Chain A
């Protein structure tokens, strides 16, 4: 087991290296609109240098004058030491900006994940128990609608209903207008209120796949021999489901939910952008749209890292939770 983990870790480091190389190459190959815009802006100021001179100077300043491979080695050299450069758009070190916004994303995703798990698993199991019944159809359709809904559409619909028609919640932002005058408890409630719509949006669009996954798994478990045995020996249905089937269906679910944990740090880009929540998703969206290479680079590597960690956790959990699985 330990050897397996070490092997996987080493492999992941190699993969991450190549991912970084690919992303860095792509980002360097496409023109950096940010520097060009800045040079154009500076050149239009009175008494300044020409656009070309500014472009050259800014390229040197931002380290864009060296070759792609040398640039990558330089980036990698400082990145492994935890220095991802300064964000061009925010004018602060990338990691500093990251540290200020990451927790907003994390809490948003965490609450959504809790809701997701508590809605998806019971409903999935219920649907599987009554396969092809009306309940099953309803759950399936609900899950598929969740999967098929564009995030921006459901977010806008929710805004229209709850913010505009009913006027219960605010359209954007994380705090209300009088946030500073509230007591600490009031501030918490105010913030929580602003997170309601984003959490609902995120839950609706991501609950479907987990629901279907748990339904499929429960079906598989219910069709297996030991369930037939349990029924044959005369156990009450409640016990068959709750003890024998449920525990076995938890194995893959725990695995997949474990694999989702690193993703909590990834940020929900569309949801955060639509509700203007200062999370990692919204922050990097603005950075990416304005052509901020250091921040984009950092965010994409971070997401790649989370993906790898997620897969690793899922694989390890699979072996840990299910004693039948032996690592080869």
Chain B
């Protein structure tokens, strides 16, 4: 291979992913039960800047800006957040099996959200509670896995499953005692994972914590490489491993918790997407991070399009991602080589 070819090739791949994302976004605007033609889409978007006589109906405009736009934005943000969190967890725990679901971050966030709903908390409180419990779960899982004997890889996965099930049981209990007229449906909605009913206000609300998590993760991406070599080695290379890991955990958990609090439990994305991105651009986080971010957004957008267009009733996202994720997980654990 010629010098620098990998970097050049990877930049090209990331650029292509960016283009695919834009195309997917445009197609997503056109898809749906209420058809919008490409010419109408262009007209409606341009009319926000220039004065154009509407050749589309008001309903069309309402569908586009109040229903499809927030939903598309949220799908991109959630997909990007969950995948980025997964890639980050995998790096700092030196474990290719780590992801928001495996580490219990999702189950913890769901428990926190359910608890806040039970206490009739505001949406800010729901996110805060989701974040705190998410962080707590990750901390517990990490501490237990460090004490676990035998394979580190297995220790983290197993303690994640155990702690997750504990929090899931807690969530089930909350569902049992929740008010069946309003609280229970709200919690159930969280559990299944869905982007339906997304409003611009919610998107605006999710954007800030997500940006607060995603931007540092993007900026620290190259340093995460060094953490994958282990704490001691990283330290002798001039990296404060404990501090860096702490920052990465906080950021990854913040974006996970925010995702869960606006879209519910959407599993597997955080595990599957980083692995697929690794296939495309290799293990170096310098390129892996942007590729994962774009890939995650594309994936979630496509899955959400299927969710809202395939059947006459919406299919919850969590169900669809499990259809993709579970077989992929089986493939990962049976395949030898790269994981070691």
The answer to whether A and B assemble together is: no
Q: Measuring CB to CB, which residues of chain A are less than 8 angstroms from any residue of chain B?
A: none
Query: Which residues of B pack against A, CB within 8 Å?
Result: none
